[in-house]
Amino acid sequence: MINRPLAIAAALILLLLLPLVLQGPYIRHLFILAFLFAIVAASWDLTLGLTGLFNFGHIAFFGLGVYTAGILTTQAGVDPWLVIPIAGIVAALAAFVVAAPTLRLRGIYVVLVTFAFSQLCLQVVMSQGDLTGGAGGIVRVPSLRISDYNFARDQRLGYYYVSLVLSLACIAALVAIARSPLGKTARAVRDNPEYAAARGIDQMRIRLTMLVISAIPTGIAGALYCIYFRVAAPEVFSFSTSTLILTMLLVGGAGSIVGPAVAAVGIVMISEYLEQFPDLKATKHMLLAVGIILVLRFFPGGLAQISANLFARSPKTVGVTPERVP
């Protein structure tokens, strides 16, 4: 049995001090990427895992964040710092748009609409070449800086801390939401919609709220992703990005919020390590796919389930398979 607050504090201090040990731009790049994907995975978990909303278009919010940042900074000259919150707002608005047709639907129909929405975003991006650069994307997005200090300097030290702080803030907020009455209500809607309705819970409102909330951090992460890489490319909407994040979510344990964020770090490391070998690009995606199936088959609760047995006070997390009350 490990003391939980102590473990969290230790992890935070470790993450803050890590750049002292990790010298070199590449290893820091890995962590920056991991922090950004941790936000996306954890916020996707809020709808897919916690609320049981079959949202398969989450990647669209990320991509919209990326392109909001890319378009506003290069074409409207908006400051990169300002673009980050704007991207969150744009993603939230997009969530409203997706929510409108999906709220009344259940199950597979939600999957179809959300999935179609993400594909639609890709198609619009590809076709509006004047604005988005089409298949080539947007390049030369300005970097984050304070007066003259470029955040990419000192081996990306600035980006390390910006992404770390944003990631911790977003995940803390998501955890707080998951534990709040709203989060509990969402869980009730997932586990027993009939009973939840009987207790007077407005399911449509819960789903809408959760979808919008989950879109905000995702859009923010997308904007930072774009500013950090200094490009916006249509690949962000692709299946492979979606699969990558889905793997994080499942390995981490759907419904646990923190689990997917932790898994994101490990999976980004593995995935980027394999990225060094260009020949293995396809193999990497095949491995991720096999990983998804194996996790679903043998560890449906993911890492969260395993750590739940480790931490004494950790709340019981439920995997993708909630036990239904008869």
> Is 194 a residue that touches another protein (CB under 8 A)?
no
CA-based nearest residue to 230, from 164, 294, 153, 138: 138
- Please, are residues 159 and 34 in contact by the beta-carbon 8 Å criterion? no
Which listed residue (109, 149, 273, 311) binds another protein by CB under 8 A?
109
Token match 């900074």: residue?
Answer: 73
> Is 104 a residue that touches another protein (CB under 8 A)?
yes
CA-based nearest residue to 39, from 273, 260, 270: 260
> Is 112 a residue that touches another protein (CB under 8 A)?
yes
Three-state SS at 315: coil
CA-to-CA dists, residue 108 to 53, 54, 102, 105, 161, angstroms = 10, 7, 10, 8, 40
> Is 204 a residue that touches another protein (CB under 8 A)?
no
Closer CB to another protein, residue 143 or residue 241?
Answer: 241
**Residue 43: what are its φ and ψ, rounded to 5°?**
-75, -30
Which listed residue (35, 117, 225, 237) binds another protein by CB under 8 A?
117
> Is 283 a residue that touches another protein (CB under 8 A)?
yes
> Is 288 a residue that touches another protein (CB under 8 A)?
yes
Token pair of 192 as six digits: 């027993």
> Is 24 a residue that touches another protein (CB under 8 A)?
no
Task: Give least dist CB 89 to another protein, A.
Answer: 22
State the number of CA atoms in the 13 A half-sphere of 67 facing the CB.
29
- Please, are residues 66 and 223 in contact by the beta-carbon 8 Å criterion? yes
List the x/- string, 128-147, binding to another protein by CB under 8 A. x-------------------
List the x/- string, 297-316, binding to another protein by CB under 8 A. x-------------------
Q: Which stretch binds another protein (CB under 8 A): 34-42, 59-67, 291-299, 304-312?
A: 291-299
The alpha carbon of residue 291 and the mean position of all alpha carbons in its chain are separated, in whole angstroms, by: 19
- Binding interface with another protein (CB under 8 A): 54, 56, 100-101, 104-109, 111-113, 115-117, 119-120, 123-124, 127-128, 239-240, 242-243, 246, 250, 282-283, 285-286, 288-290, 292-293, 296-297, 320-322, 324
